[in-house]
Amino acid sequence: MNPAHLTIKEAAENIAERKISVTELVSSCLKEIEKHNTDLNAYLNIFDDSLEEAKKKDEELSGYPKKDSPQIPSLFGIPIAVKDNILVKDKICTAGSKILENFVAPYDATVISKLKKHGAILIGKTNLDEFAMGSSTENSAFGPTKNPHDSSRVAGGSSGGSAAAVAANMCLGALGSDTGGSIRQPASFCGTVGFKPTYGTVSRHGLIAMASSLDQIGPLTKTVDDAEIIYKAISGGDDFDSTSVKNLPLPSKKERKDLVFGIPKEYFSEGLDPEVEKKIRKTIEKMKDAGVAFKEISLPSFEYALAAYYVIVPAEISANLARYDGIRYGFSHQEAKNLLEVYNKSRHAGFGDEVKRRIMLGTYTLSAGYYDAYYIKAQKVRRVIKEGFARAFEEIDLLLGPTTSTTAFQLGENTKDPLKMYLADIYTVAVNLAGLPAISIPAGKIGNLPVGLQLIGKWFEEENIFEAAKFIEKLITSR
C-alpha cells in the first residue's frame, strides 16, 4: 500500500490505528512530488520542514489513545497543499506573479491557522494563474501546470496546481480559491472533487484578493467525504473578515430520498460537448432508477452571467491590484527616474498580459461616463441572477448539470483567444455572482479525460450538497 494513494478519511483511520506513521504518509507524498512535479509543475514551493513536522506529529500521537479517539484532530498528520495566493507565515507567497516573486508572508491566513489547529501538515504551495486570473493555469509567471491524465492538456484554472497535486497523489487534499469556478473547473478537468462554499462561510483573511465580492476559499480532494472534512475544519466566522458570517444559520438538512433535483435546460443547450452531455445524462438516468426525483427548470438570466461577471471582476481587480505599486511590497523597478516611473515600470515588468488586460478593462468600466453604463448595469444583472436562483430553489433543493462544457483542452489551444478561454467558466460563474455553494465531482471519463458533474445548492445548505454528492459518487463508482 502506498500511503499517498489513501484518502484523508482512510489515512486518518490508519494513523489512529498505528497502521502507518505520519512520517511514512508525508514521505510517500514527497516521493510522488519528486516523481511527478518536474513534468506537471503543480507545486511552486515544497516546504522543507514538512518531514520534521511529521516526526513531531508521530511523537504527539503517543499521547492519544489508540483507534477511534475523538481527541485526535480531524486532519492530524494529513499532508495538505495550499494554493499560492493563500498566506502561510514565513513562506513565500507569489500569487503566480513576478511582482510577488520574493514576497514572504508575515502571518497565517485564517484558513491556515484552522488547518494547523486541526493537525494538518502543510506540504507546499501550488501553482495558479497569476493572481487567480485564468481558466487553465497557463497564465502563471512560473510556467503552466499540466494535467496528470494527459500532460499535453491543461489542468484547468486558476487552482490547477492544487487539482493536479491531488489527482497525482502528491498530497491528500488541497486548498484552492474560487472566484468564478476556479476550484470546480480544474477539479472537473483533473478528476477530483472540488467544493466552493457559500460566500462568507469561510474566511478570506489572508487570501490575496482578486475580486473580493466573489472570491471564496475551498477544498480539492479525492472524495466528497474528504471535502466535507476540510470544509468543516476551515469554515466559521472570523473577526478579521467583515464579510464572513459570524453565526452560520442552522442547516435544514433533508434525507437524501426527499431531495428534489432541478435540471436547468440552459445547462444542456448549444455549446455543450455531446460526449460530456452523454456522461451527465447517464448519471441522471441512474439516479432516476434509484428513485431520485427530478424537475426540469429554467434559469432565464443564465445567458447574461458571463457578461456580467467579466464587467464586475475586472472592476474589482483594478481596485485590488492598485496596491502593487513597487513601493509598499513586491517587485520594485530600480531604474526609475521619478515616482511615476517606479509605478509604471514596476507594474509593467511585474504583471503578465492577462493581469494587465483585466486591469485596463476594469479601469475603463469604472471611469466617468462608463460606470453607470457597464458596472452599475452588471450589478443589476447580478441581482437578477441571484433572484432567479432563489425562485428556482422554491421548487427544488439542488441543481444538477455539467461543471464544464468540454474535457480538458490542449495546452496553448485558447491562450490567443481570451474570449474562448473565458467561456470555459460558463457553467460556474453564476454561482459566484449569487454567492451559492457548489461542488464538482467526477462523473466518469471520455477516453482518459475526466468529466465533472456539478451540484449547486441553496445558501448555507452545504450539508444537503455533501449528502447528495456522496450518494451520486457511490452510484458512479459502482458502475
* Calpha distance 27→23 (Å, rounded): 6
Among 65, 54, 68, 63, smallest CA distance to 20 is for: 54
Give dist(CA 96, CA 218) in Å, integer.
18
Question: Between the CA of residue 361 and those of 157, 315, 478, what are the distances in Å?
Answer: 20, 7, 47
Q: Report CA dihedral (38, 39, 43, 46) to the nearest 10 degrees.
A: -20
List the catalytic residue out of 113, 158, 318, 440: 158
| Dist. CA 174–CA 266, nearest whole Å | 31
CA distances (Å), origin 430, targets 178, 189, 270, 346, 405: 12, 19, 18, 34, 15
Q: At what angle do helices 224-234 and 110-117 cross, to 10 degrees?
A: 110
Query: If we measure between CA atoms, which residue out of 179, 180, 181, 161 comes closest to residue 171?
Result: 161
Of 107, 167, 159, 112, the C-alpha closest to 132 is 159
The C-alpha atoms of residue 437 and residue 314 are separated, in whole angstroms, by: 23
Residues in the chain: 479
User: Taking the CB of residue 256, how many other CB atoms lie within 10 A of it?
Assistant: 15
28 cis-preceded (ω within 30 degrees of 0): no
The question of whether 182 is a catalytic residue gets the answer yes
Q: What contacts 274, CB < 8 A, 6 or more positions away?
A: none
3-class SS at 246?
coil
Distances in whole angstroms, Cα of residue 423 to Cα of each of 145, 166, 379, 395? 20, 25, 20, 29
Return d(Cα 202, Cα 216) in angstroms, integer.
7
For residue 472, which of 383, 398, 419 has the smallest C-alpha distance? Answer: 398
- Catalytic residue from among 57, 83, 114, 345: 83
Place of cell 440552459: 266
Looking up cell 513536522, which residue turns up? 53
Inter-residue contact 248 to 201 (CB < 8 Å): yes
Backbone dihedral region of 173: left (phi > 0), alpha (psi from -120 to 50 degrees) or beta? beta
Active-site position among 182, 203, 235, 440: 182
- Residue pointed to by grid coordinates 485564468: 134
Which residue numbers are catalytic? Answer: 83, 158, 182
